[in-house]
Amino acid sequence: MPYLVIEHLEEISGWLWLEYKHASEWWKDKLIFTNVLPEEREKLAKLGSVLTESVTKFPFDRSKIIVLDLQAEEELKPEDIDEDTLIVVGGILGDAVPRGRTREFITSKMEGVKVRHIGEAQFSIDGASIVAKLIADGKRLEEIEYEENPTIKLDEFSEITFHYAVPKLDGKLLLTPGLIELQKRELGYGEDDEISYEELIEFFEGKRELR
């Protein structure tokens, strides 16, 4: 089984935590976070292995590393992936219009690695992690369903559109668990305060609701 490496490049917000947790549910003990600040280590260790060093500094055989980059020329295929492959995803919350930050912060600094894309659509961190897992398990890119810019109803009168692609499995949208609740809160459906990391932990442990 290969490893998924998330190069951590954002502050840990509620949204980022939900995406990281979803990726962890798919990759379990094969998930590694790199480029992690010492004060963030304890938090991310709840989800996977943690390294303070950037993946761009790894002394490993670069031929064993695959960077997922929207700007890559070749698509990711099952035959690209071996048991000891490290698949690298940028821990970046994307923009509606991609800015090529994976190329800037990771790919351009890792000469000798394989660089692959997973289609023309931009995925979230957890979405890219899921697509990578499905391909590692033998699926080909053209066999994987997804929906671009899905619109989700919040209530009878309101909806929200996510400006990225979300993978589907057996016709079901694999949206980040907890994200709708988080969005409702931030849009004023409940408390106005931004949800904290500690509140998210309590939510996933069943100790609190997101109101």
Lowest mean pLDDT among 42-46, 96-100, 176-180: 96-100
Query: For residue 211, what pLDDT is reported?
Result: 46
Q: Using the predicted structure, report yes or no on whether residue 37 has a pLDDT greater than 80.
A: yes
18-27, 157-166, 190-199 — which one is most confidently predicted on average?
A: 18-27
Q: What is the DSSP string of the chain?
A: --EEEEEE-S---HHHHHHHHHHHHHHGGGEEEES--GGGHHHHTTTSEE-SS-GGG--S-GGGEEEE-TT-SEE--GGG--TT-EEEEEE----SS---HHHHHTGGG-TT-EEEES-SS-B-HHHHHHHHHHHHTT--GGG-EEEES-EEE-SSS-EEE-SSEEEEETTEE-PPTTHHHHHHIIIIIS--SPPPHHHHHHHHTTS----
pTM of this structure: 0.87
The predicted model gives 115-126 an average pLDDT of 96
The predicted model gives 146-170 an average pLDDT of 90
- Top-confidence residue, 164 or 96: 164
**Strand 49-50 relative to strand 31-34, pairing:** parallel
Q: Using the predicted structure, report yes or no on whether residue 159 has a pLDDT greater than 90.
A: no
- Top-confidence residue, 54 or 186: 54
Query: For residue 98, what pLDDT is reported?
Result: 64
What CATH number has the domain spanning 3-204?
Answer: 3.40.1280
